[in-house]
Amino acid sequence: MRRTLRAALEESIETVGRVDAQVIVAHLLGVNRAYLATHPMRVLTEIEDAKIDTFVAQRALGAPVAYLVQEREFRGRGFALSAEVLIPRPETETLVDACLARLAREAAFLDLGTGSGVIAVTIACERPDAALTATDVSVHALDVARSNAVAWRCEERIELVGGSWYAPLAGRRYDMIASNPPYIPARDPHLAQGDLRFEPAGALTDGSADGLDSIRAIVRGAPAHLRPGGWLLFEHGYDQSAAARALLEAADFRDIVSIDDLAGIARVAGGKMQVTHRRQGMSAQDRIREQVTLHPVVLYMKGSPQQPMCGFSATATQLLRMSGAGEIFTVDVLQDPEIREGIKQYANWPTIPQLYVNGEFVGGCDIMREMYQSGELQKLIANAAKSETKS
């Protein structure tokens, strides 16, 4: 005999509790929770009845409801999920709030380790003027993030990139970098409890004893990818606030913040990149010399590779990409007046952009174009890559 909706719901509540039972039954019937109260005598089909029993049994064994229904709400929006991505939590809403409060107009925003895309998609929806990039090492996670971007009609404004942290972003700079990285210590007993048992281990822990290796990598790499005055903000564990602040201070960030979640626990840390990257006591010439020595390929330009502020700079970055340049260190001279004047004196060359390879001045846009047409630029970039590999 087939059950009524009321009977199925009551039996489910006895097994998994009221909230979980209502979510599961409403999802499987394709209705909202109000429908459950107003149609108690609806007779279920055999398929509906069987699915409810199956989902309830899985939940009773510990399977997260979010994975069963393949959806979780985040800041009032529904996001598709799969078992390959982390389940969004309220703590991450605190991170998004912190980002929105500090994000300038028409900013370039980077979401590292995007997972289901809740951070990037939420920022895209609430700040339609922002240009967004989101990375993840997992192809499956990028597929989920892409589906959520399409669902919320912001896929054209979010560039999804595969790779670990900054690896696929050579030479690119942003006004804000945000991340909810893995931060649970490798031997934390919570990993074997509750929903965490079912979530992807790589999204929860990086395997380090203190859980901070990913945060260290993010903080360490941020100066090469933040524009002067840009913000780095990231989520961390309930007991990692002091360690997070120490990492930011050691990396010379300013205006460091610790932000509490709704429970009053510090869960987000961040800091602001200095207006210039100059070191104490270093002249512009010394800073330029250090930059062109440390990095195989350096381009002094107006703007950034993703947002060049003049046609010559845009052409120069395009020529480098077509020449096979991977790791390019770029310096936006518009953000640093001392470098803007100093670079003209350094090589006795009056215009921007300027390209340096293995510490040697190559030339400006016109010379780069001539070298590309003759094949010399491609050879130069290839030799720079070989030199970097050997070192």
CB-based contact 139:168 (threshold 8 Å) = no
For residue 24, give the 3-state DSSP assignment: helix
Residue-wise pLDDT for 219-258, tens only, equals: 999 998 998 889 999 999 999 999 999 999 998 899 999 9
Residue 387 pLDDT > 80, yes or no?
no
Cα 159 → chain centroid: 11
Q: How confident is the model at residue 152 (pLDDT cuts 50, 70, 90)?
A: very high
- How much is the pLDDT for 296? 86
Q: How confident is the model at residue 327 (pLDDT cuts 50, 70, 90)?
A: low
Cα gap 183→238, rounded to integer Å:
10
Q: Which of 110, 97, 122 is nearest to 257 (CA)?
A: 97
Structure tokens at 184: 């649970």
What value does the mean pLDDT take over residues 184-194? 94
Contacts for 203-209: CB closer than 8 Å, 24+ residues apart: 203/85, 203/86, 203/113, 203/115, 203/141, 204/86, 206/181, 206/182, 209/185
> In the block, which residue shows the tokens 């090469």?
224
| Span 284-390 CATH architecture | 3-Layer(aba) Sandwich (3.40)
Structure tokens at 134: 């989101």
- CB-based contacts of 287: which residues, under 8 Å, 6+ apart? 277, 278, 279, 338, 339, 342
- How much is the pLDDT for 386? 67
pTM for the full model?
Answer: 0.70
Residue 270 pLDDT > 70, yes or no?
yes
Strands (E), the chain: 71-74, 77-80, 108-112, 131-136, 158-162, 174-179, 226-235, 254-260, 266-272, 297-301, 329-332, 354-357, 360-363
Residue-wise pLDDT for 88-127, tens only, equals: 999 999 999 999 999 988 899 999 999 999 999 999 999 9
For residue 5, give the 3-state DSSP assignment: helix
Task: Name the CA dihedral angle for 118, 120, 122, 123, rounded to a multiple of 10 degrees.
Answer: 160
- How much is the pLDDT for 273? 87
Across the chain, mean pLDDT equals 91
According to CATH, the topology of domain 84-272 is Rossmann fold (3.40.50)
Residue-wise pLDDT for 344-379, tens only, equals: 999 899 999 999 998 899 999 999 999 999 999 999
Residue 388 pLDDT > 80, yes or no?
no
CB-based contact 344:350 (threshold 8 Å) = yes
Q: State the distance between the two ends of the chain, measured CA to CA, in whole angstroms.
A: 75
- How much is the pLDDT for 171? 81
- How much is the pLDDT for 389? 45
Longest dimension (CA), the chain: 90
Which one-letter amino acid corresponds to residue 247? L
Cα gap 153→233, rounded to integer Å:
25
- How much is the pLDDT for 351? 93
Residue 155 pLDDT > 50, yes or no?
yes
Equal CATH topology for 84-272 and 284-390: no
Least confident of 140-144, 186-190, 321-325, 331-335: 331-335
- How much is the pLDDT for 353? 96
Structure tokens at 310: 């003049």
Cα gap 203→110, rounded to integer Å:
18
Cα gap 282→289, rounded to integer Å:
11
Q: Could you state, in order of their start, the residue ranges of all structural domains in the chain?
A: 5-61, 84-272, 284-390
Residue-wise pLDDT for 2-39, tens only, equals: 899 999 999 999 999 999 999 999 999 999 989 999 99
Residue 139 pLDDT > 80, yes or no?
yes
Q: Which residues of 377-387 are buried (b: 16+ CB within 10 A; e: fewer)?
A: bbebbeebbee
Phi first, then psi, for residue 353 (nearest 5°) are: -85, 165
What value does the mean pLDDT take over residues 289-315? 88
| Span 5-61 CATH architecture | Orthogonal Bundle (1.10)
Cα 175 → chain centroid: 13
What value does the mean pLDDT take over residues 319-348? 87
Percentage of the chain lying above the pLDDT 70 cut:
96
